[in-house]
Structures are given as structure tokens and as C-alpha cells.
Amino acid sequence: MSEPGGQAAARAAELRERLDYHNYRYYVLDDPEIPDVEYDRMFRELEALEAEHPELRTPDSPTQRVGGAPVEGFGEVRHLVPMLSLENAFTADELQAFDRRVRERLETDDQISYAAETKLDGMAISLLYEDGHLVRGATRGDGQTGEDVTHNVRTVESIPLRLRGKGHPPRLEVRGEIYMPKAGFACLNERLAASGSKTFVNPRNAAAGTLRQLDPRVAAQRPLEFFAYGVGYCEGAELPERHSEVLEMLKGWGVRVSPLNRVVQGAAGCQAYYDQMLGERDELPYEIDGVVFKVDKRTQQQALGFVSRAPRWAVAFKFPAQEVTTVVRGVDFQVGRTGALTPVARLEPVFVGGVTVSNATLHNMDEIERKDVRIGDTVIVRRAGDVIPEVVRVLHERREGHPEPVELPAKCPVCGSDVVRPEGQAAARCSGGLFCAAQRKEKLRHFASRRAMDIEGLGARIIEQLVEEGVDGREVQTPADIYALTTDELAGLERMGEKSAANLVASISRSKDTTFARFLFALGIPEVGEVTAASLARHFGSIDRLAEAETDDLEAVPDVGPVIAQHVHEFFRQPHNLDVIAALRARGVNWPAIDYEPDVLPLAGKSFVLTGALETMTRDEARDRIQAAGGKVTGSVSGKTDYVVAGKDPGSKLDKAEQLGVTVLNESELLELLPDA
Ligand code: IVH
């Protein structure tokens, strides 16, 4: 019979079936068939149907993951079979000793097959399925008795509320690990910090803390995931012969199993798996703290049995810890290539992430203040992969006495120039710019680059040699020194012939004729990019007027805010920088004077975007000429763009211009707007 109720029931059953199937494709097979929106659409249809016919709701409907009201407390669960822990191995020798013991006990010289698995760094969990339905989730507790956390476990989408297929054992206890992926952990902490709540130290604590929530709605909003690694108890069915087959069987029933599981042969196979996983560790989306080897054949497992709380047939081969505690002996400040001062903690040396570490970054002053790091503190240091070791947090409870807070130095430790830290910015910088040795190579490279002074042939390799070794015993430190280089001196450099030396001298000489905007950009003032340099040049017209400007005057320039204003102001207050500029001009660097009344320039206030190749000039030349005429050139088309200049083979910028109705000019139309060169 097909009365409306019957139809609704059939549709609800079909939707549940499909949603379960797509969940399985997504979580277990890691091979989704449909886009998320399609899943969401079916999910909402089922929700609506169940709202209309509440009697159709089943406890294992995908809509019922958050089952009910918060629980009052956690019930105790006595495990059907104790949940054991694992013996640890830390070295290759210990791994071999494990394999030897296994073979001795089994009285065999044959290689042992091991199920190799990752050791997930989360919380052990026991899931009880009765006739294929999830009826209970429990923590490990002391191994005998755990806590009933069913209400939270049900919210984990990678845990099926019912098993797929048919013929499940009447009672089956699946064991595995609930963990929080790294990205989800970072988001959660950001969210917690933003709402002023306490953050979690690591993903494992976050997973544990989440499972201990009384309100399942909290757990439902946190990104927990699950991988099964075994069966604790099975009633009414025979399990396959091998552990690896047991996991395959679980997978067939829709239980998520790690795709990194393998079967390996002997201690050598184990070692190779360990090495591979250690190499992949940092790329995995979740944390693992080692690998686990289990004798694969279950008859052999039974023959080996248990010692106290761990099986004799399994071992955890742990990775070197990525977080350890040590003591801060001091804090130094390093000056980077961009002038940023980075505080570095000098540590009591410790072994972490596989190497001995004696320095760790503290990032910037905000971080020091936020973490409240002081000299003498005991701290947690983290080193993951190739990432620079960092101080994660201070164990404040171990602080002795009242150590002084760390202070930002007033002068650059390398060159003695003033250190500035603009209001609201985390990074403190040396204002020595061109003068500071720490910044020299980077500043010179930028100075010579194509969009700055455009010195062809003066690349990073030559700058490196010039700064490190100098020429004929003379140091090359500032951009002004570049203009004193001779062909003979350059020809003395490694891998530099007479001809290329002469070419380089010629291009250095050519670069002397420049524009004010390029010159300003070339100076490498923090935060002053090409567009800002052009605005400043246009507004002030001369370098002397710019150098005298106060921050208020600077802020009057379009696009210049307080941070840029402070950087520019500070730059021109450093006598070394003024000396370098004077020396450059004395050596012939020059630019056409700009009529600095912004309003009288023909293209004042007009914004241009260039696309495609021009015939009579390069795009860079076009840009320089537009800027000299008071116009602005930006990289992308927006509603604020006045003109898009389209040359040969224009790109998508032209389409964008047409979409937005921006005026498009060809090259000759542009030339008409420009004053004669
Ligand atoms: S097997 C009898 N396999 O490590 C064997 N454990 O100290 C019991 N763990 O609390 C565990 N990944 O939560 C096993 N692939 C894996 C594992 C794993 C992580 C955890 C487990 C247990 C601890 C063992």
C-alpha cells in the first residue's frame, strides 16, 4: 500500500541509505562521489521530512548525531576486555630486540609478518556495536574501566552510527583513536582565543578536552576524527586469521581505517616503514607520534600473550619528541635581511625533533609579551621537521623569583641605528636601511632590481661577492659604492669576464638617469612599494622636500597611512641614509624635476592598468611616463580604474575592464594623453 506516510517513510529510508553511503565514500574510502552541496541538500531534505513526521526519526539517522540534552556526568563503563597499552621502542636496536623476542617465543627462524600502522596521537576509544548499531562509546580510563562518552562520540562524523552491509556480529567492540586534525586544531584555538577562552596546548589535549564535554553540541562543533586500529571483542562471529584482514573487514562495514596501514616482513620491513613515516610525518594532516607494529597472524598473537598491561605481540616505535622542556638562558635580537628584529631565545641545549637545539625563535615582541617569556623561565620548545624551533609556552608555575621582562633594544645590535616599532605593528625594525650590514645584500639586490634602478646584470650572485669580499680591498657597502666600480675591478670577480664587466659598468652608468619615483622605491624604505613611491614622488616633487616632511605632511599623501608615514619619516632622520643619498647624487644619479603641484599634472588622480605588449615603449616605460604625468598605475582592474591600456595580446584584464565598463585605450590613445617625452 502506498499512503502518504508510507511514501515519506520510504523516502526517509532512502535518504538515510544514500547519506550513509556518501559518508562512507568520503570518510572511509576518501573518494567522494558527489559535491558537499549535494550532500547538504539531501541532509536538509531528510531533516525536513523528519520534522514533518517525527515518528520517522531513528536514533541512527545522520540527522541525530547530537542526540539530546547535555549529560549530567559520565557513567562508568567496565570494558568487556581490558584496553591495554603498548610497549615502547626508541631505537633501531630496541626494535630488533622486539623482533628477536617474538621469534624466540614462537620458536621460529622465519620472518614475521607485521601489521604496520601509524601511532595516532589522540585518545583511545572503544565503540560498541550491537547488531550493527552504535550503542556505546567509552574512553580507555585505567584500562579496566572507562567513561561513557557516547553522546560526544556520536557527533564524530567519521564514526558510523550503523555498520554497512549485513551479517554483522551481534556484539562487536571496535577500538581506535579519536584525534583532532592539525588544521582543525589551529582553527579551534583561534576561535577560542577570539572569544577570550583558554586555548589548548596541542591537538591531543583538544581531543581529550572535547570528549569530556558534557554538552554534545560543543563536541559537534569541534573537528574530531576517528581511525580504527583493532577489535576488542567480537561475539557470535569468527574473525579473520590476520589482524590486517580484521581491519579490512571493518573497512567493508564502513569503519574508517588509516590508509597508511601496511603489512611488512621482519625487522627490516618495520625499520623501512618507520623511516618512511618519519619522513611523511610533517605532511600528514594529523599528528602521529610514532608507528605501531603488530604480529599480523592472530594465532601467533595468542601464542605470545601478554605481560602485565601490554601485549607481547605489539610494539610502538616512537618518533623523537617534537616538544620538550628546557630553560631560557637569555634573549638576543637578530636583524634580518629586511631589517626586522627577531628575538631569539638562547636555551639550555635539548634534544628535540631529532636534533640538539640551543636557540628558538620568539617571533616578535608581541609574542614575548603574550607568552610572558622571561630569562630563567622553563619553557616548552617545539621543533617539527625543518621548521625553525620555537618557544611554545612558558611553564609559569616553575618560575622562580621575579625576573625582568625582556626589553626591545633601542639601537640596532648590528649597526647602532635607532630601532622603530610603529604603533600597532608586531615587528620592530632597524632604521639603518642602506647602512646596516645585516640588510646590505638584500637592500642592494632590491636597489638594482628591474623595477627600481634597473641595473642589468647586477644580480644576487655578484652582489653576494661584492659585499662579502669587496673589490681590490675596498668594501662595497652602500648603493653609492656601486657607482664607483670600474671594469677592471669587476673583471677580478669570480666567473666575470672582461666583456661582461664592461657591460655591467655600462648598465650601472645607464641607470643613473632615472625617475624620482624609481629612486624612492629603490631606497627600500619599509612598506614603500612602487605605488607608494610614485605617490610620494608626485606629492613632494623633490627629495629635499620629502626628507623634511613631518609625519602629518606624509599622511596627507593619498594611500599613505600612519605606519608608512612613520617609516618614511624615520628613514630620513637617519644621518647614514642622508649620506648615502647625497653620495648617490654626487656620483651622478639624477632624475627629471617634477612639477610638484599635483593638480596641474595632466593625469593627476587618474588610475591606469596596463595589459598586453605596447609597440613604441615597454610597459615599464609607459608606467614611468604615466606616473611622471601625475597618473597612477596599478596591477589589477577595479571599479576605481579610470583607463585600461590594451596592447597586443591583452590578458584577462581587458575582459575585466569590459565587464566593469572601464574605458579601454589603445597605444596611440595613451600617447595622446601623455605630454611629449
Ligand atoms: S594498538 C593492545 N594501534 O597508543 C594494543 N594503539 O599505548 C593496544 N594508539 O592508548 C593499542 N595508534 O590509543 C594501537 N595504530 C595503533 C595506535 C594505537 C595510537 C594509541 C592507543 C593506546 C596507545 C598505546
User: Cα(85) to centroid of ligand 1, in Å?
Assistant: 6
Which whole number is the average pLDDT over 438-454? Answer: 91
Q: Is 179 in the pocket of ligand 1 (CB under 6 A)?
A: no
C-alpha cell of residue 19: 547519506
Q: 331-336 long-range contacts, Cβ below 8 Å, gap at least 24?
A: 331/362, 331/368, 331/373, 331/375, 331/406, 332/413, 333/408, 333/409, 333/413, 335/412, 335/413, 335/414, 335/430, 335/436, 335/438, 335/439, 336/438, 336/439
Class assignment of domain 603-673?
alpha beta
Residues 545-566 have pLDDT tens digits of 999 999 988 988 877 888 899 9
Which ligand 1 atom sits closest to the C-alpha of 124?
13
Q: Is 84 in the pocket of ligand 1 (CB under 6 A)?
A: yes
Which ligand 1 atom sits closest to the C-alpha of 310?
2
| Residue in this structure with the C-alpha cell 610597459, named with its chain if needed | 619
- Does the fold of domain 417-595 match that of domain 87-318? no
Cα–Cα distance measured from residue 301 to residue 231, given in angstroms and rounded to the nearest whole number = 13
Q: Which residue's CA is the closest to the ligand 1 atom numbered 12?
A: 119
Q: Is 88 in the pocket of ligand 1 (CB under 6 A)?
A: no
221 residue type, one letter: Q
User: Cα(177) to centroid of ligand 1, in Å?
Assistant: 8
Dump the DSSP string for 291-340.
EEEEESBHHHHHHH-EETTEETTEEEEEPPPSEEEEEEEEEEEEE-TTSE
Active site residues: 119
Q: Which residue's CA is the closest to the ligand 1 atom numbered 13?
A: 124
User: Cα(436) to centroid of ligand 1, in Å?
Assistant: 54
| Mutation pick for ligand 1 pocket among 84, 88, 144, 229 (CB with most ligand atoms within 8 Å) | 229
pLDDT of residue 453: 97
Residues 385-443 have pLDDT tens digits of 777 899 999 999 999 889 989 999 999 998 899 998 877 777 899 988 777 878 888 88
Dump the DSSP string for 69-133.
SPPSSPPEEE-SS------EE-SHHHHHHHHHHHHHHHT--SPPEEEEEEEE-SEEEEEEEETTE
Supply the mean pLDDT for the chain. 91
Residues 301-324 have pLDDT tens digits of 999 999 988 999 999 999 988 899
Any idea which fold 87-318 has? D-amino Acid Aminotransferase; Chain A, domain 1 (3.30.470)
| Mutation pick for ligand 1 pocket among 114, 117, 121, 177 (CB with most ligand atoms within 8 Å) | 177
Cα–Cα distance measured from residue 459 to residue 468, given in angstroms and rounded to the nearest whole number = 14
User: Cα(118) to centroid of ligand 1, in Å?
Assistant: 9
pLDDT of residue 2: 41
Rounded to 5 degrees, what are φ and ψ at 541? 75, -40
**Closest listed residue to residue 46, CA positions, set 2, 6, 16:** 16
Residues 189-211 have pLDDT tens digits of 999 988 988 888 889 999 999 99
Which ligand 1 atom sits closest to the C-alpha of 177?
13
pLDDT of residue 190: 92
Query: Cα dihedral sign for 193, 198, 199, 203?
Result: negative
Residues 216-267 have pLDDT tens digits of 999 999 999 999 999 999 998 899 999 999 999 999 999 999 999 999 999 9
**Quick one: how far is CA 551 from the chain centroid?**
36
Residues 97-110 have pLDDT tens digits of 999 999 999 999 99
Q: Which residue's CA is the closest to the ligand 1 atom numbered 14?
A: 229
How many residues would you count in the chain?
A: 677
Which whole number is the average pLDDT over 71-81? Answer: 92
Which whole number is the average pLDDT over 519-527? Answer: 93
**pLDDT higher than 80, residue 337:** no
Residue 527 carries which DSSP code? T
**pLDDT higher than 50, residue 348:** yes
User: Cα(96) to centroid of ligand 1, in Å?
Assistant: 20
pLDDT > 90: percent of the chain: 73
Give me the helix-helix angle, 460-469 and 440-448, nearest 10°: 140
Residues 572-582 have pLDDT tens digits of 998 989 999 99
pLDDT of residue 600: 63
Cα–Cα distances in angstroms (integers) from residue 172 to residues 270, 313, 440, in the given order: 30, 22, 68
Q: Is 164 in the pocket of ligand 1 (CB under 6 A)?
A: no
Q: Is 229 in the pocket of ligand 1 (CB under 6 A)?
A: yes
pLDDT of residue 3: 45
pLDDT of residue 123: 96
CATH number of 5-66: 1.10.287.610
Domain residue ranges of the chain, discontinuous segments joined by +: 5-66, 87-318, 322-405, 417-595, 603-673
Cα–Cα distance measured from residue 94 to residue 97, given in angstroms and rounded to the nearest whole number = 5
Q: Is 121 in the pocket of ligand 1 (CB under 6 A)?
A: no
Q: Which residue's CA is the closest to the ligand 1 atom numbered 9?
A: 119
Any idea which fold 417-595 has? DNA polymerase; domain 1 (1.10.150)
User: Cα(123) to centroid of ligand 1, in Å?
Assistant: 9
Residue 439 carries which DSSP code? G
Q: What is the SS3 string spanning 208-233?
A: HHHHCCCCHHHHHCCCCEEEEEEEEE
User: Cα(320) to centroid of ligand 1, in Å?
Assistant: 17
**pLDDT higher than 60, residue 533:** yes
User: Cα(285) to centroid of ligand 1, in Å?
Assistant: 19
Q: Which residue's CA is the closest to the ligand 1 atom numbered 21?
A: 124
| Mutation pick for ligand 1 pocket among 79, 81, 86 (CB with most ligand atoms within 8 Å) | 86
User: Cα(218) to centroid of ligand 1, in Å?
Assistant: 26
Q: Is 124 in the pocket of ligand 1 (CB under 6 A)?
A: yes
| Residue in this structure with the C-alpha cell 653576494, named with its chain if needed | 464
Q: Is 15 in the pocket of ligand 1 (CB under 6 A)?
A: no
H/E stretch holding 358: strand 355-361
Which ligand 1 atom sits closest to the C-alpha of 86?
7
Cα–Cα distances in angstroms (integers) from residue 667 to residues 119, 620, 629, in the given order: 64, 14, 16
Q: Which residue's CA is the closest to the ligand 1 atom numbered 23?
A: 85
Which ligand 1 atom sits closest to the C-alpha of 118?
15
Cα–Cα distance measured from residue 548 to residue 572, given in angstroms and rounded to the nearest whole number = 8
Which whole number is the average pLDDT over 342-356? Answer: 93
Dump the DSSP string for 375-399.
TT-EEEEE--TTSPPEEEEE-GGG-
Which whole number is the average pLDDT over 168-188? Answer: 96
Q: Is 287 in the pocket of ligand 1 (CB under 6 A)?
A: no
**pTM > 0.85: yes or no:** no
Which whole number is the average pLDDT over 463-473? Answer: 85
pLDDT of residue 5: 62
Q: Which distant-in-sequence residues (6+ apart) come within 8 Å of 243 by Cβ?
A: 115, 230, 294, 295, 296, 297, 298, 301
Q: Which distant-in-sequence residues (6+ apart) come within 8 Å of 501 by Cβ?
A: 487, 488, 490, 491, 493
Q: Which CATH superfamily is domain 322-405 in?
A: Nucleic acid-binding proteins (2.40.50.140)
Q: Which distant-in-sequence residues (6+ apart) come within 8 Å of 9 by Cβ?
A: 53, 56
Helix/strand/coil for 609? strand
Q: Is 311 in the pocket of ligand 1 (CB under 6 A)?
A: yes
Q: Is 24 in the pocket of ligand 1 (CB under 6 A)?
A: no
Which ligand 1 atom sits closest to the C-alpha of 125?
13
User: Cα(287) to centroid of ligand 1, in Å?
Assistant: 14
pLDDT of residue 1: 39
pLDDT of residue 433: 77
